[in-house]
Amino acid sequence: MGKIDELIQQYCPDGVEWKKIEEVCKVKTPPAKLKTSDYQEQGLFLIIDQGQQQYAGYTDNEKAVVEDGEYILYGDHTCIVKYHKGRFAQGADGLKILVSKANNPKYVYYAFSAYNLTSTEYKRHWTQAKDLEIPLPPLPVQEAIVNILDRFAVYAAELQAELQAELQARQQQYQYYRDTLLSFDGRDDVQWKKLGEVADLGTGSHNTQDGLSEGKYPFYTRGSEILYLNNYDYDETAIITAGDGAGVGKVFHFVQGKYALHQRAYRIVPNEKIVLARFVYYYIGATFYNYIMKSSVSSSVVSIRKPMMVDYPIPVPSIEEQEKVISILDRFDTLVNDLSQGLPAEIEARQQQYEYYRDQLLTFKRKEA
């Protein structure tokens, strides 16, 4: 920050002006609207809309293409701020195309991104966003900040790509060890039993609309999202899985304690004198989907009938081996899946670090009138 501090002392020691986005930028209207038929997977010109992705496709319709330039783009409904240099076509109504009047366009983009609240709680239509004020230091300071943030953004992107690659490698490693550790075919020392022989199976009594955003006890439905209720159905260690819908064979929860359950979600409560609950959790997570796909009743959605659960074959190695499998897979599970630990948290930390330095660089004292 030393160079920036020196420039501030040189050019704006008494503070900087703050102006509304609508004073800093003018809105540019695209020459024509794209038709649905104009969208292509490949083409001469990029299409940009207000979604999270940078590009929405390609087009050859030059009549709808904005002229070459540097643009700040704002999504009316998404509140996402983007920067683009070059020609492009607007992919949807609601994307505001902004052209910086007298400032570094990339600086305006960084400042707008930093000061624009983009969470769902604070989403703002352009009619409100245009009144957002950003600090405007002299151009030498703007250019220095852009140089630093550009380099940091490249570094952060490269580091995040490395972490994502590492995470993918760990996920593949986890799946390999899981599948290897849970392969018991051909072993004479491992018994095979039906799930109904080693576990209590049942469903709940609630509907999704019973769920609350806050409450005393977790309420497990047919999806990955956990809702809440102020009363509970069970107090136990169980595996929860969806009985129908998109989560069949894919959604599993490991529960310890009091909870409420949807009427089309299944609870699996293993007899831990025979098979450990955590072992069952890992085993069905690896194999249950394929079993269900072969055995399911399918109309518009895949659904599970209780006899399918009862007849599901499960291996029962020694308790000592089950504990060993659990110990290994728990470590991988924490590393790969826990958002508060491991690589996902590192990826999030790098993004937060970038945002912190960006916000520090863009913090200025307001110049008194």
Question: CA–CA distance from 233 to each of 204, 263, 280 (Å)?
Answer: 7, 11, 22
Inter-CA distances, 212 with 207, 209, 218, 221, 260, Å: 11, 8, 9, 12, 12
Q: Give the CATH number for residue 62.
A: 3.90.220.20
C-beta of residue 60 within 8 angstroms of C-beta of residue 92:
no
Task: Please list the pLDDT of the chain residue by residue as tens digits (369 residues).
Answer: 578 999 999 999 999 999 999 999 999 999 999 988 999 989 999 999 988 877 889 999 999 999 999 999 999 888 889 999 999 999 877 899 999 999 999 999 999 999 885 444 445 788 888 999 999 999 999 999 999 999 988 888 888 788 888 888 888 888 899 999 999 988 999 999 999 999 999 999 999 899 998 999 999 998 888 999 999 999 999 999 999 887 888 889 999 999 999 999 999 999 999 999 999 999 999 999 989 888 765 544 578 889 999 999 999 999 999 999 999 999 988 888 765 567 777 778 888 888 888 999 999 999 987
Picking from 159, 155, 162, 158, the residue whose alpha carbon sits closest to that of residue 357 is 155
Nearest to 251 by CA among 203, 210, 289, 202: 289
Residue 267 lies in a domain: yes
Residue 100's pLDDT is what? 97
Residue 356 lies in a domain: no
Please give the model's pTM, rounded to 2 decimal places: 0.64
Task: Domain of residue 306: give its range.
Answer: 191-316
Domain edge (last residue) among 120, 135, 150: 135
| Residue 177, number of CB atoms within 10 A of its CB | 15
Domain identity same for 128 and 22: yes
Torsion of Cα atoms, 269 then 272 then 278 then 281, to 10°: -40
216 and 309 together in one domain: yes
Q: Are residues 131 and 195 in the same domain?
A: no
Q: Are residues 123 and 214 in the same domain?
A: no
Whether residue 205 sits in one domain with residue 102 = no
Same domain, 204 and 307: yes
Cβ atoms of 240 and 220 within 8 Å: the answer is: yes
Please name every residue paired with 59 in a beta bridge, in sequence order, or none if there are none: 45
pLDDT at 301: 52
CA distance 4 to 309: 65
Q: Which residues of 4-35 are buried (b: 16+ CB within 10 A; e: fewer)?
A: eeebbeeebeeebbbbebeebbeeeebeeebe
39 & 108 share domain: yes
Q: Provide the 8-state DSSP code for 365.
A: P
Quick check: is 141 in a domain?
no
- Residues 29 and 127 grouped into a single domain: yes
Alpha-carbon dihedral sign for residues 297, 300, 302, 305: negative
**Residue 64 maps to a domain:** yes
Instruction: Confirm whether 300 is domain-assigned.
Output: yes
Asked whether 342 and 336 are in contact (CB, 8 A), the reply is yes
Distance, in Å, from the CA atom of 98 to the CA atom of 83, rounded to the nearest integer, reads 10
Whether residue 115 is found in the same domain as residue 198: no
Query: For residue 343, is it within any domain?
Result: no
- Residue 359, in any domain of the structure: no
Kind and range of the H or E run holding 42? none
Which is it for strands 88-90 and 65-66: parallel, antiparallel or unpaired? antiparallel
* Domain count of the fold of the chain: 2
241 contacts 295 by C-beta, under 8 angstroms: no
Position 312 in a domain = yes
Tokens of 159: 């580091």
Q: Do 131 and 196 fall within a single domain?
A: no
Q: What is the pLDDT of residue 102?
A: 92
Helix axes 139-181, 319-337, angle to 10 degrees: 170
Alpha-carbon dihedral sign for residues 254, 259, 262, 263 = positive
Alpha-helical regions (H) of the chain: 2-11, 21-24, 105-115, 126-129, 139-181, 195-198, 277-295, 306-310, 319-337, 342-361
The verdict on 211 and 107 lying in the same domain is no
Please indicate, yes or no, whether residues 311 and 195 belong to a single structural domain of this protein.
Answer: yes
